[in-house]
Amino acid sequence: MSDAPLSLPADSPWLRRGRAVVQWLLGDVPELVREPESGALAVVVCTAAAVAMWLGTRQELKGPPVPMGAWRMLVHGGVPLIAVAGWEVRVLWRRGLRPSAAFFATAVGVALLVLPVLLRFSHEGAKELQAEPMLRMVLPAAVGATLVVAGLKAAGARLADWGIGLGDWRWWLPHHGMLLLALLPAVALTTCLVPPLAAYYPMYKPAQTDFHELWTSVGSLGLDLFGWEFLFRGFLVFGIARRGDALTAILLQAIPFFLLHSPKPEAEMISSYIGAIFAGWFCLRARAFLPLYVIHTAIIATVSFTAYWLRT
C-alpha cells in the first residue's frame, strides 16, 4: 500500500464540479477599468474606513445592545457615506455643476450624520444617546442617509459605483437564495457541533435565556450589520475596485474584517477571512452590498437562535 498523501489530480471531476458550483454561485469577477485620480480616491477610502473602524471600537455605550448596535451602524455606515458625498460633490463640481437643491439636501444629510457623532464626545451627550438610541442615532442616520443618497442621485452622481442600490438584482437574487439555503443549515449544524460558538452566542448575556431579550439582541445586530456591510462590502470593495484591480479590492477588505473578529471564537474568526473574500467577490459581481447584509444578518440570527435553543 502506497504511503503517498491522498491528492486529487488537477483535472479531477470533483474539482471541476466544485469550481463550477462556486463559479455559478459567486459569478465571474468583473473586469475593471482604472479610473482617473484613483490614487487619491484610495487615500480617501482607506482613511475614512480607518476613522469609521476607530469610532466603532470607541462606542462605550454600555448596557442593552440597542445603543451599541445603533452607534456602530451610525459610524460604520455614516462616515463612509460622508466620504462618498464629499468625493462625488467634488466630481460633480469639476463637471461644472453648481450648488442646487440636490446639494442642499446632501449637506443637510451630512449634518444629520455628523451631529450624533459629535454629541457622543460630551458626557451629557453620551448619556442622551444611551437613553434614546432610536431617536438620537437611528432616526438621524436614516433621514441623513436618505437625504445624502437622494441629493447625490438627483445631482447626477453614480452611486452604483459604490455598491449603493439593488445592483444586478436579476443575477444575484436566485444566487442569493441558493446561498441562504446552503449556508443557514450548515451554520446551525456548526453551532451545535462547536461548543465555544454556542457558548458565545447570543453575545448579550441576558438574551441567552430570555426570548424577548434574544429578539432585541438580534434586532440590534441587524442595525449594526447594515453599517458594517456598507463599510466593508460597499465602500471599501467598490472604492478600491475603482483602481481597476478587483483582487486587491476583495483581499484588502478581508484583512480588517478578519482582525475585528478577534474577540470571537477561533472557528468564527478563521472562517471570517474566507467568508469575507467570497463576500467581496459576490458583491462585486452583484454590483451591490445589500445581498451580503441580508446573508450576514441571517447567519448571526441563525447562530443566536440555535445557541438559545441548545440552552433551553
pLDDT over 50 at 269, yes or no: yes
Place of cell 434586532: 219
Q: Give the percent of the chain with pLDDT over 90.
A: 67
pLDDT at position 8 is 42
Give pLDDT tens digits for 6-23. 444 556 676 777 677 777
pLDDT at position 249 is 94
Give pLDDT tens digits for 202-230. 988 899 999 999 999 999 999 999 999 99
Which position has the higher pLDDT, 237 or 60?
A: 237
Check: pTM over 0.95? Answer yes or no: no
pLDDT over 50 at 3, yes or no: no
pLDDT at position 211 is 93
Which position has the higher pLDDT, 63 or 106?
A: 106
Q: Average pLDDT of the chain?
A: 89
Give pLDDT tens digits for 162-204. 999 999 999 999 999 999 999 999 999 999 999 999 999 998 8
pLDDT over 50 at 109, yes or no: yes
Confidence of residue 282 (pLDDT cuts 50, 70, 90): very high
pLDDT at position 30 is 77
